[in-house]
Chains A and B, each alone.
Chain A
Amino acid sequence: MVQQILESAKFFQPETALTITFCVALLVSLFDKKGTMVGGLVFCGLAITALLLVKQACTAGNVTLFHNMYAVDGFSTFFKAIILGSSLLVTIFSFQSNELLTAKRHLGEYYALLVAMTLGMFLMSGSSNLIMMYLSLELTSISSYILSGFTKQAEDSSEASLKYVIYGAFSSGVMLYGISMIYGLTGSLDVYGINEALQAGTVNMIALFIAGILTLVGFGYKISAVPFHFWTPDVYEGAPITITAFLSVASKAAGFAMMIRFFTVAFLDSTAGSLTLGTWQALQGFDWNKLVAILSVLTMTLGNLVAIWQTNIKRLLAYSSIAHAGYMLMGVVVLSSDGIAAVMIYFVVYLFMNLGAFYIVMIVANKIGSESIEDYKGLGVRSPFVGIALTVFLLSLTGIPPTAGFVGKLYLFAALINAKWFWLAIVGVLNSVVSLYYYVKIFRNMFLREPAPNAGELSFSPVHIVIIMIMLLPTLIIGIYFSPLVEIAQASVTMFGVR
Chain B
Amino acid sequence: MEVGLTHFLIVSAILFSLGLFAVITRRNAILVLMGVELILNSANINFIAFAKYGGMKLDGQAAAVFVIILAAAEAAVALAIVLNIYQRFKTVNVDEISAMKE
User: Could you list which residues of chain A lie within 8 angstroms of chain B, going by C-beta atoms?
Assistant: 131, 134-135, 138, 142, 145-146, 149, 152, 155-156, 158-159, 161-162, 165-166, 169-170, 173-174, 176-177, 179-181, 183-184, 187-189, 234, 237-238, 315
Chain B, 67-95, contact with A by CB distance < 8 Å: what is the 0/1 string?
10010011001100110110011000010
Interchain CA distance A145-B80 in the complex, whole Å: 11
User: Could you list which residues of chain B lie within 8 angstroms of chain A, going by C-beta atoms?
Assistant: 9, 12, 16, 19-20, 23, 29, 32-33, 35-36, 39-40, 42-44, 46-47, 49-50, 54, 56, 59-60, 62-63, 66-67, 70, 73-74, 77-78, 81-82, 84-85, 88-89, 94, 97-100
Name which residue of chain B comes closest to A132, CB basis. B66
Q: Which of B20, B49, B60, B81: most chain A Cβ within 10 A?
A: B81
A170-B39, A177-B42 known; A152 vs B50 contact (CB < 8 Å): no
Closest 4 CB pairs of A and B: A180-B46, A173-B39, A184-B50, A176-B43
Could you say which of A145, A173, A176, A188 contacts B77, with CB atoms under 8 Å apart?
Answer: A145
Q: State the main secondary structure of chain B at its contact with A.
A: helix
Task: Add 17 more A-B contacts to A166-B23, A180-B63, A187-B54 (CB < 8 A).
Answer: A131-B66, A145-B77, A152-B88, A156-B99, A158-B88, A159-B97, A165-B78, A165-B81, A166-B33, A173-B19, A176-B40, A177-B43, A180-B46, A183-B56, A189-B60, A238-B100, A315-B100
- A177–B16 CB distance below 8 A: yes
Interchain CA distance A423-B60 in the complex, whole Å: 42
Residues on the A chain within 8 Å of B66, using CB: 131, 135
- A149–B84 CB distance below 8 A: yes
Could you say which of B40, B82, B84 contacts A152, with CB atoms under 8 Å apart?
Answer: B84
Residues on the B chain within 8 Å of A176, using CB: 39-40, 43, 67
A159-B98, A169-B33 known; A183 vs B63 contact (CB < 8 Å): yes
Residues on the B chain within 8 Å of A146, using CB: 77, 81
